[in-house]
């Protein structure tokens, strides 16, 4: 007999915006606000060209991504992810909303501000 788990509650997005030339932001329905430098997103691309499908090892050399990389387009993939077209032509990564929350740079900023003692508001 298979033990079926209920599907995880999807993360819902209120607003997606480019905060400046180098930063993408999301306001989540739960009120949290996330942001990521585009260079961080490009280096964290989860596609098969950037991450080995079997081992999970990074295939992309992070130093090959410019710190000031731009994006030309951000598209929704269903109601669960984004596809970002970067200025270097790369556009095969699908960034699920759950993955974006995992790599949320605003959480790192909050931890740095309070010494990592607690979870900050985003």
Average pLDDT over residues 14-20: 96
Report the pLDDT value the prediction gives residue 58, as an integer from 0 to 100.
96
Mean pLDDT of 86-96: 97
pLDDT: is 122 or 67 the higher one? 67
pTM above 0.85, yes or no: no
Q: Which whole number is the average pLDDT over 65-79?
A: 96
Domain span at residue 89 reads: 38-112
Beta strands in 6-116 (DSSP E): 13-20, 23-28, 33-37, 71-77, 81-86, 94-96
Phi, psi of 20 (to 5 degrees): -155, -175
- The answer to the question of residue 11 being in a domain is no
The number of distinct structural domains making up the chain is 1
Q: Is 19 a domain residue?
A: no
Would residue 99 count as lying in a domain?
Answer: yes
pLDDT value of residue 57: 96
Mean pLDDT computed over every residue of the chain: 88
CATH number at residue 57: 3.30.2020.30
Cα-atom radius of gyration of the chain, to the nearest Å?
16
Task: Examine residue 98 and state whether it is found in any structural domain, yes or no.
Answer: yes
Is pLDDT above 80 for 112? Answer: no
- Please report whether residue 70 resides in a domain: yes
């Amino acid at each position: 007999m298979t033990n079926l788990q209920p599907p995880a509650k999807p993360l819902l997005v209120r607003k997606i915006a480019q905060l400046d030339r180098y930063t993408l932001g999301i306001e989540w329905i739960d009120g949290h606000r996330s942001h990521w430098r585009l260079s961080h997103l490009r280096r964290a691309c989860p596609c098969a060209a950037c991450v080995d499908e079997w081992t999970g090892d990074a295939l992309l050399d992070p130093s090959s991504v410019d710190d000031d990389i731009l994006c030309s387009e951000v598209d929704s993939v269903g109601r669960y992810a984004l596809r970002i077209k970067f200025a270097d032509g790369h556009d095969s990564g699908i960034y699920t909303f759950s993955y974006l929350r995992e790599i949320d740079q605003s959480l790192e900023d909050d931890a740095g501000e309070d010494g990592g003692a607690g979870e900050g508001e985003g």
